[in-house]
C-alpha cells in the first residue's frame, strides 16, 4: 500500500468518526447522560478528529506523516 492509499483510508476514517460523533451527540442530547458524555465520553472523538488537546496526536497527524 502506498502513502496515497493510506491517506485515502485515513480520510475515510475521519469522515466516519465525525459521523459517529454526530450520531452519539444526537443520541445523548437531552438525557441525564449528556453531561457525563460531554465531560468524558466525547474526548476520544475530539482527540481522533484533532479537536482536543493540540499536543495529542490525531488522525490528521497520520495524514501529515504521509504528505
Decide if pLDDT at 19 tops 90.
yes
Percent of the chain with pLDDT strictly greater than 70: 100
- Other Cβ atoms closer than 10 A to 26: 9
In angstroms, the Cα distances linking 52 to 6, 27, 42, 47, 55 are 23, 21, 10, 5, 8
The whole-number pLDDT of residue 48 equals 92
Query: 28-44 pLDDT, tens per residue?
Result: 999 999 999 999 989 99
The whole-number pLDDT of residue 53 equals 80
Average pLDDT over residues 8-20: 97
Q: Which residue has the higher pLDDT, 24 or 67?
A: 24
Decide if pLDDT at 23 tops 90.
yes
Amino acid at each position: 500500500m502506498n502513502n496515497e492509499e493510506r491517506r485515502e483510508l485515513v480520510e475515510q476514517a475521519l469522515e466516519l468518526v465525525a459521523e459517529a460523533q454526530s450520531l452519539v451527540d444526537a443520541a445523548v442530547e437531552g438525557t441525564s447522560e449528556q453531561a457525563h458524555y460531554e465531560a468524558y465520553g466525547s474526548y476520544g472523538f475530539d482527540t481522533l478528529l484533532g479537536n482536543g488537546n493540540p499536543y495529542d496526536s490525531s488522525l490528521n497527524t497520520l495524514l501529515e506523516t504521509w504528505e
